[in-house]
A and B are shown apart, each in its own frame.
Chain A
Amino acid sequence: MDTQLKKGVLAMCILFQIRNQEEYGYEILRRVQAAFPDVYDGSVYAVLRRLGSEGYAQTILRPSESGPPRKYYRITASGQQLLQNYLDDWQDLQRQVRSLGIP
């Protein structure tokens, strides 16, 4: 998959996972990874990190009984805005592609 396109789609999927409630990073990773089995290059984690560092998601460390503290991700207001933009773009893209007769 084209890298730019892939990154956009992955960012949309990640933000969608946390749109309503905060989520543990591993859980996000696992779910998105399951949907994109061919994305094996750690780019899901890289996109997740970038969303955190750019302020679209807030990270909260929660202690765990087993192992090191877990990092949870919560969407921010700018993240919600970004997700909405992604979803709009996605709808547009789908409509445009379909208008050419591609199912």
Chain B
Amino acid sequence: MRQNEFLQELETGLSGQLPTDEVKDILTDYRSFFASGVGEGKSEEDICTLLGSPAALVRSLTGTEEQPQQAVPTQTTGIPHAPLGKRVAATLIDRLVLVLVYGAVLIPFIISYFSAQSEMAATGPTVGMTLAPGPLLMTVVLLIGLPFSPLTLLPFTVVVSLLVNFVLWLLDMGPGTIIGIVPLFYVLLFALFSLYKPVVESLCHGQTIGKRLMRIRVIGLDGQPAAVSAVWRRELLGDILLGTVTLGITPLVSACLAAGKSGRSLPDRIGDTVVVETDPPRKP
């Protein structure tokens, strides 16, 4: 940067912020600094480096450099939030990942279930060895249905499955039953779905696999990386628990809020976070 550029940028930045004669006085000061620097044999570029950036100087002179700490919410409005489409796409990708993980655990179980059943068919029913088809059916339906079912109903589905299976488990409980394992799978599923986002977002700077692919990120309202506590509050309390308790209503409301002007979903409001694009399109 050269002298003229520096002074011009400084003048533009200061005009309207400070009284005119003060702006003039500052510009005169800086003209004399440039003249003195040149007198010392410095290049205009070197002098600019010594004097710092005009933008930072404007902030120092107008006393706005402390703004980020004090006026937190106003600063966030300046950060463009991620479009809803990307957020939904990220959610879908994450669901798919979870289904794959869950499926990898479930498939060996299904195989062992069928082998046990055919074995039983061969030896005939034994006292205390009953196999209910219910839990398995629900497991399979849940597994296949997950990517297609309305996402908002997922927590509800999981909880209902858990309850149904718990009852079935109680009824079937007896020596040698393998159905007792099924509710454990639902617990596993629920834990997986509950913990995946907060754990991964805590470890990977506010990104899940889906968010990473969509180039979006959860950050704090101050524009800094989201705190671990904020991520847990956002995902576990705001997303999973609230969605489960309200039978999937809050995620729907949440999507509407995210589509709104603030771009902040219900979990965002609970966690004091905002979802932004990691490399936002530059303004022309």
Contact = CB atoms under 8 A, between A and B. Distances in A.
B36 A42 contact: no
A69 interface: yes
A41 B52 contact: yes
Contact of B56 (A41, A66, A67): A41
Interface string B121-152: 00000000000000000000000000000000
B57 A67 contact: no
Binding site secondary structure of chain B: helix
A42 B33 contact: no
B29 A42 contact: no
B32 A67 contact: yes
B31 interface: yes
A49 B26 contact: yes
A67 B61 contact: no
A41 B31 contact: no
Given A42-B51, A42-B52, A67 B34 contact: yes
A40 B49 CA distance: 8
B35 A42 contact: no
Contacts of B53: 40-42
Contacts of B65: 3, 41, 43
A95 to B, nearest CB: 29
Contact of A67 (B36, B52, B59): B36
A45 B59 CA distance: 12
Interface string A19-58: 0000011100110010000001111011001000000000
B48 to A, nearest CB: 11
Given A41-B52, A49-B26, A68-B28, A25 B61 contact: no
A71 B59 contact: no
A43 to B, nearest CB: 5
Contacts of B31: 67-68
B60 interface: yes
Interface in B57-101: 57-61, 65-66
A79 B52 CA distance: 26
Contacts of B28: 68-69, 71
A64 interface: yes
A67 B58 CA distance: 23
Contacts of B103: none
Interface string B41-59: 0000000001111101111
Contact of B36 (A24, A33, A41): A24
A29 B56 CA distance: 16
Interface in B1-58: 26, 28-29, 31-39, 50-54, 56-58
